[in-house]
A = this chain, B = another copy of it.
Amino acid sequence: MLDTNHIAALRELIGDHAVLTEAADMAAYETGARYDKGRAAFVARPASTEQVSAVVAYCVRHGIRLVPQSGNTGLVSGSTPDVSGTQGVLSLDRLTGIFDLDVANRSVRVAAGQRLSELNARLENSGLCFPIDLGADPRIGGMIATNTGGSRFLRYGDVRRNTLGLKVVLADAEGTILDLASDLRKNNTGVDLKQLFIGTSGSFGVITECVLNLEAVPRQTATALLVPSSPDQVSDLLIAMEASLGTYLSAFEGMSGNAVRAALDHVPSLRNPFQDAAVPDFMILVEISRSNALRTGEQSLDEVLEAVLAEIWEGQLIADAFVGPPHEIWAMRHALSDGVKHRGRLIAFDLSFRRGDVMQFLERMKAELPAKFADVTICDFGHIGDGGVHFNLVVPKHDVRMSDGIFENSLRTWVFDIAVQEFGGSYSAEHAVGPKNQAFYDRYTPPEIRKLAAGLRVVTSAGALGSVKF
């Protein structure tokens, strides 16, 4: 239990209602999106950068560890306290005040606590959008702290690429406010300090305000489901589509037959485009899009897609193709994650590879996994256009092997070792680092890199912040 004087002091700083200590009030802040539950000493909910600074400064001076929490939708336990009951949660959920749109600059300045859905709703009439497309609905600060990717990375890149500026509170005794919230697109006047706070899970500072790049909302879209002739052809298919479509291509997503079947079973309203219900082993969702309304004389995107698919068909890269309405095809893509979860106990991996290696890794897993770990189903899907794979393994619901952590840990280590050490891949493509994968950070990060990262963490926050140890 934390000294009640501290609670009183924090309430003095940001208001009585803004510091929660009742178990019922704190429960939602103590529980992560996917994993286990921690216990908070308190939840502080500052409503401005200055209030964040005051809370951080107080906690640094009194040795109270703070875990910054944004939308709490992350998948590596990065935003929840541990079980000690001594850590405070610093929630951004009241940090929603600022919304400053600059149409000419194609940018917006927002407080870090704004939800992605709320941001895009407020942008709706501008013809612009923040182009990071996710299944979850995080708050912006957390998206930056984890550097999320999403389904349209291929076209728009990650959050890093779309962040122009940040305001950050450092974990020093003054709660120093670092104003890096420039709205310039091009500015090379020293170290680009904002990069330190992108993807570092709130361990280097608390992000309170952001300037984001916006893109024109696509006004034409066409989608297709492609069945590659063989796994070997997927890479050539991607190359061919990029050459033919250039920046039109906005998604190139892989979906395993197992994942698609799980989605179809779980959501009966989904339309199954495959005749006699024979779902192929592997499919690619392709989306092309552009921002202008269709002009007189311009080919529609459906025509463009048909023409490109005809070329590709000619080259024998695909065995089958279904051009269908975007909402139907995306509905299936978006149902995969939930569908897979309902198949049993999920052991999820967020991997990435050189793009040419994705299918080789998947083939390797299909060949070797069954002999090593019986009764485990591979239900992968992911973002082949950028090398990302949500490599999901499903274990039967009441499997006794899941009663302790030994089986899961040995499975995880086996998969990660192959992905990281043999393929040069990543064990966290777009979910960043948290307590859930801290051990793998320690395992795979070379000592000279760990040393430099730890040095930086000391320079920024004296290691007083967050749930990760870089």
A contact set with B: CB distance below 8 Å: 102-107, 127, 146-147, 149, 153, 155, 157-158, 160-161, 170, 176-180, 182-193, 195-196, 198-200, 204, 216, 218, 235, 238-239, 242-248, 290-292, 295-299, 303-304, 307, 352-356, 383, 386-388, 424-433, 441, 444-446, 448-449, 452-453, 455-457, 459-460, 470
Q: Which residues of the partner chain B approach A433 to less than 8 Å between Cβ atoms?
A: 188-190
A-B contact pairs, 23 of them (CB 8 A): A105-B387, A106-B242, A106-B355, A127-B243, A146-B188, A178-B448, A184-B429, A185-B387, A186-B383, A188-B199, A188-B426, A189-B433, A189-B445, A191-B199, A191-B204, A191-B457, A216-B243, A242-B291, A243-B291, A247-B291, A295-B307, A452-B460, A456-B459
Contact: A441 with B190, CB < 8 Å? yes
Contact: A176 with B448, CB < 8 Å? yes
What's the nearest-Cβ distance from chain B to residue A355, in Å? 5
Contact: A193 with B449, CB < 8 Å? yes
Contact: B185 with A386, CB < 8 Å? yes
Q: Which residues of the partner chain B approach A449 to less than 8 Å between Cβ atoms?
A: 178, 180, 190, 193
What's the nearest-Cβ distance from chain B to residue A406, in Å? 24
- Give Cα A426–Cα B50 distance, bound, in whole angstroms: 26
What's the nearest-Cβ distance from chain B to residue A437, in Å? 8
Q: Which residues of the partner chain B approach A189 to less than 8 Å between Cβ atoms?
A: 426-428, 432-433, 441, 444-445
* Most B C-beta atoms less than 10 A away, residue of A146, A189, A235, A446: A189
- Give Cα A295–Cα B190 distance, bound, in whole angstroms: 46
Q: How many copies does the complex hold?
A: 2
A200's contact among B103, B190, B292, by CB below 8 Å, is which? B190
Contact: B243 with A355, CB < 8 Å? no
A426's contact among B186, B244, B448, by CB below 8 Å, is which? B186
What's the nearest-Cβ distance from chain B to residue A195, in Å? 4
- Give Cα A459–Cα B459 distance, bound, in whole angstroms: 8
What's the nearest-Cβ distance from chain B to residue A400, in Å? 32
What's the nearest-Cβ distance from chain B to residue A428, in Å? 5
Contact: A188 with B356, CB < 8 Å? no
Q: Which residues of the partner chain B approach A147 to less than 8 Å between Cβ atoms?
A: 188, 192
Q: Which residues of the partner chain B approach A155 to less than 8 Å between Cβ atoms?
A: 247
Chain B: which residue is nearest A353 at the CB level?
B184
Contact: A298 with B297, CB < 8 Å? no
Q: Which residues of the partner chain B approach A244 to less than 8 Å between Cβ atoms?
A: 291-292
A184's contact among B426, B446, B456, by CB below 8 Å, is which? B426
What's the nearest-Cβ distance from chain B to residue A126, in Å? 10
Q: 16 extra interchain contacts, Cβ-Cβ under 8 A, other than A102-B356, A218-B246, A245-B292?
A: A103-B356, A104-B356, A157-B161, A161-B161, A177-B448, A182-B424, A187-B352, A187-B426, A188-B199, A192-B195, A192-B199, A193-B453, A243-B292, A297-B299, A297-B307, A456-B456
What's the nearest-Cβ distance from chain B to residue A245, in Å? 7
Q: Which residues of the partner chain B approach A157 to less than 8 Å between Cβ atoms?
A: 161
Contact: A105 with B427, CB < 8 Å? no
Q: Which residues of the partner chain B approach A200 to less than 8 Å between Cβ atoms?
A: 190-191
* Most B C-beta atoms less than 10 A away, residue of A242, A383, A441: A242
Nearest 6 A/B pairs, CB to CB = A104-B356, A246-B291, A195-B195, A247-B247, A187-B426, A455-B459
- Give Cα A243–Cα B217 distance, bound, in whole angstroms: 9
* Most B C-beta atoms less than 10 A away, residue of A149, A186, A296: A186
What's the nearest-Cβ distance from chain B to residue A467, in Å? 14
Q: Which residues of the partner chain B approach A426 to less than 8 Å between Cβ atoms?
A: 182, 184, 186-189
Chain B: which residue is nearest A235 at the CB level?
B104
Contact: B446 with A179, CB < 8 Å? yes
Q: Which residues of the partner chain B approach A190 to less than 8 Å between Cβ atoms?
A: 199-200, 433, 441, 445, 449, 453, 470
Q: Which residues of the partner chain B approach A149 to less than 8 Å between Cβ atoms?
A: 186
Contact: A424 with B183, CB < 8 Å? yes
Contact: B307 with A104, CB < 8 Å? no
Q: Which residues of the partner chain B approach A444 to less than 8 Å between Cβ atoms?
A: 189
What's the nearest-Cβ distance from chain B to residue A390, in Å? 12
What's the nearest-Cβ distance from chain B to residue A129, in Å? 12
What's the nearest-Cβ distance from chain B to residue A111, in Å? 19
Contact: A216 with B242, CB < 8 Å? yes
- Give Cα A354–Cα B446 distance, bound, in whole angstroms: 40
What's the nearest-Cβ distance from chain B to residue A221, in Å? 12
- Give Cα A277–Cα B190 distance, bound, in whole angstroms: 43
